[in-house]
A and B are shown apart, each in its own frame.
Chain A
Amino acid sequence: MYYWFMLALAVVAEVVSTVGMKYAATSSPIFGYLVMALMISFSFYAFSRAVVHIPLAVSYAIWEGLGLFLIGIAGVVLFGEYLSLGEMFAIALMLVGLLLVTFDKGKKADADEAFPVVQANKHKPAQVARMQVKPAHRSTLGEVAL
């Protein structure tokens, strides 16, 4: 439960920092950049804590996917941005691509970790089942991709 809480915090911190970034660019640089730097550092840290027990593919997909979705909404609601139907479609397409790539790698990246299986069983049984098939573990950059 603690690790899922950390993941939720990481998502919230990411969204706040991106909103701070836009705020820094449009109105108040110092305050905006301060919030941005603080929040992205915290988000990074919380995410690195979360992946200790939640499989990386799952946590990355939630972190980046949910972040992307919420940030898109934040831009429209808080800053009055306009997204055309085509742009929304393009964002959705990238989101789908991101999920596909993430879960493709996750099979290899988390293969030899024993304990996330217990955690993941409750949430993503299908994913875990495939993870077990491919035991070859190779350390890659994708494991910590942001």
Chain B
Amino acid sequence: MIVPVSLLIGSVSLDLLACYCVKRSKGFQKVIWGLAGLLAIISAFVLLSFVVRDIPLGIAYSVWGGMGVLGTVLLDRMLFNSRLGRQGMIGVACIVAGIVAMQL
């Protein structure tokens, strides 16, 4: 269980890096950032492909997506100091509950 989980975390980190790069590229106007973003998202998917070797696709992808959203919320809070409203907090709770429920 340790290996897929750490791969998943690595993949989510690369996904967040890709988001940041694409944001910097401003809709692919700055090509270097756009290409860096593409490279990061492809690496993220390569890591994810090792995860789906022994975890069903639907589960792996939903946990990956959920962790991506959590990471984005966390980074936004730390880097850009943007906070979620009550609705967003309920959403975060739902995602965490979903990931925990997956482990049971």
Contact = CB atoms under 8 A, between A and B. Distances in A.
B27 A87 contact: no
Nearest to B87: A104
A89 B80 CA distance: 33
A75 B65 contact: no
Interface residues of A, number: 63
A146 B68 CA distance: 7
A81 B57 contact: yes
A98 B102 contact: no
Contacts, number: 185
Contacts of A67: 61, 65
B82 A81 contact: no
Interface of B: 15-16, 18-20, 22-23, 27-28, 37-38, 41-42, 45-46, 48-50, 52-53, 56-59, 61-63, 65-66, 68-69, 72-73, 75-76, 79-80, 82, 84-85, 87-88, 90-99, 101-102, 104
26 contacts: A19-B57, A22-B49, A22-B57, A33-B49, A36-B46, A37-B42, A37-B45, A40-B42, A44-B22, A48-B22, A49-B27, A64-B65, A71-B58, A73-B58, A76-B58, A89-B101, A90-B98, A93-B95, A94-B98, A97-B91, A98-B91, A100-B91, A139-B80, A140-B80, A142-B73, A146-B15
Interface of A: 17-19, 21-22, 24-26, 32-33, 36-37, 40-41, 44-45, 48-49, 51-52, 64, 67-68, 71-76, 79, 81-83, 86-87, 89-105, 107-108, 138-146
